Amino acid sequence: MTPQGLRLGQVRATVDALVKSARTRDRAGFERLISDRDPSFPNRARLLYDNLSTLPLTRLQMHVEPTQFGLATARTQLLGSGAWAQRAVVTWRLAGDDADVEHQIWLTFLSDGGELRLGGTVDEPPNRSVEPKPSWWLGRLTAGEHEGVTVIAGSGQPLERWANHAAAALDNVRDNLPDGLRLSWSGHIVMEVPATPRDFESVLGERPGSYDSIAAVTRRAGTADGATRIVVNPKAAQLSSSALQAVLEHEMVHVATSSPDSPAPVWAEEGLAEWVSTKAHAGQPSEATDDVLTRVRAQGAPRSFPSDQEFQIGERDLRMAYAEAWLVCRYIADRYSEIQLGRFYAELDDGHSLDEASQSALNISEAELIIRWRAYLVRLARASVVAPR
Ligand SMILES: [Zn+2]
C-alpha cells in the first residue's frame, strides 16, 4: 500500500469512529479524536457532536474522498506543517425524509500525540463555488417531530412555535388539496428553519442576499437532489400568524405534489399552491391580485398564462405572476369544480400538454381556456374587488 493509500485508510477509520461515537452518544470517544491545537476547535467539535447526536437521523455516513489540499500559511503555523484538509461526502437522512441528502464538507486532519485527529472544519480550497451546506454544520440546532412534521431549527429560533405553525398548516393542506390529484406523498413534511437569513442562503447554496425577499423554498436538498424539504427564511417570523401559515401551506403543497420533480408548467405548480393556501384562509386573495387587476384595467388581460421565466427569483413582477397563476386555478375551481382542478393538474403533472389537460379535465381546448380566463379577469377587474369566497 502506498503512503497515500495508508493515510486515506487511517483517515477513513478516524471518520468512521467519529460518526459512530456521535450516533451512539459516546461523547468521550468523540472527543478523544479531536485535536485542540487550534484552541477554538474543541468548541466547534462539541457543537457538531451535539447536533449529530441529537437530530432525529435515520442515516448518517461520511465517505472520505482522496481529494485533499495543503493549508494556508496562517493555518499551517497554527496546526503544524503536517496538517491537511480532505474532502468528504456526508449522506444523511432525517425521520420523514423521502430520500437521502448529500453534502460535501472539508475536514482538516493532523497527527497529534502520535494519533490521527480531526483538527478543524474551516479550511476550504480557494475559489470554491457556492454549494449547499448542511444546517447542522452551520450552528447549533434543535429538532422535533410531531404529527407528520419534522422541524429542525437554528439557534434562537423557537422550535415549538415553528412546529405548531407547521402542524396547523399541514392540517389545512390535507383538508384543502383538491380531489383528483394523483399523489404519491407519504404525508410527512421536513422543514428547516436556519438561524439567520445568511444561513438560509447557505443551506440553499445561494449567494448572500440573493434570497433575501423569499419567505421559504421547497426543493430537493443537498448537492445531489436529495430529500424534498422546506427551508424557511427566519425573516418570515415577522409575518402575521395567518400570513406565515399561508406561506407554509403554499410550500407544503409543493411537497405534497413533488413539484420540484414535476413536468407541469411553473404557473400550474405555483397557482395550485396559492389556491390551496388561500382556500384555507377564506377571503384571502393571492398577495398581488389587486395589482394584476389594476394592470388588466390599464392594459387589458394578459395574452397567456405566466411563463416559467416570470417565476425566477429577482423578476420584477414576480408577485403578479403568482397572483395570475392563482387566478387560473381559482377560475377552474369556481367555473368548473375542485375535482376538475385536481384532474387538470394531475394531467399536467403526468407530462401532458396544456391542450391535452384542458381537453381531458375541462372538455375545452387550451385556446378556449385562455379566452375564458381572460374574460374572467376582465370581469373581476370591472368588479374591482375579488369577492370573499
Ligand atoms: Zn411556490
Residue 126: per-residue pLDDT: 82
pLDDT digits (tens, 9 = 90+) for 75-112: 999 999 999 999 999 999 999 999 999 999 999 999 98
pLDDT at 141: 97
CA pair distance 163, 174, nearest whole angstrom? 16
Using a 10 angstrom Cβ sphere, with 0-12 exposed, 13-18 middle and 19 or more buried, the burial of residue 85 is: buried
Residue 108 CA to ligand 1 center (angstroms) comes to: 39
Q: What is the percent of the chain where pLDDT is above 90?
A: 87
- In sequence order, what are the beta bridge partners of 222? none
Contacts of 224 (CB under 8 A, 6+ apart): 102
Instruction: Write down the pTM of the prediction.
Output: 0.93
Ligand 1 centroid to residue 221 C-alpha, Å: 16
CB atoms within 10 A of CB 283: 9
SS3 93: strand
Predicted confidence at residue 384, as pLDDT, reads 66
- Pick from 73, 77, 194, 176: nearest CA to 135: 194
Q: Over the stretch 184-233, which tens digit does the pLDDT of each residue have?
A: 899 999 999 999 999 999 999 999 999 998 999 999 999 888 999 999 99
Write down how long the chain is: 389
pLDDT digits (tens, 9 = 90+) for 129-154: 889 999 999 999 999 998 899 999 99
Could you tell me the distance, in angstroms and rounded to a whole number, from the CA of residue 266 to the centre of ligand 1? 9
Tell me, in angstroms, the distance from the centre of ligand 1 to residue 253's CA: 8
Q: What one-letter code names the amino acid at 217? A: V
In the predicted structure, residue 389 carries a pLDDT above the cut 50: no
Q: How far is the CA of 188 from the centre of ligand 1 (A)?
A: 18
Beta bridge partners of 117: 110
- Looking at CATH, the fold of the domain delimited by 140-258 is given as Glutaredoxin (3.40.30)
**Neighbour count for residue 270 (Cβ, 10 Å):** 28
Ligand 1 center to 254 CA (angstroms):
7
User: Any idea which fold 3-128 has?
Assistant: Nuclear Transport Factor 2; Chain: A, (3.10.450)
Beta strands 216-220; 228-232: pairing state: antiparallel
* Centroid of ligand 1 to alpha carbon of 273 (angstroms): 6
Domain boundaries, the chain: 3-128, 140-258, 262-389
Spatial distance between the Cα atoms of 109 and 123, rounded to a whole number of angstroms: 10
Q: From the CB of residue 212, how many other CB atoms can be counted at a distance below 10 Å? A: 14
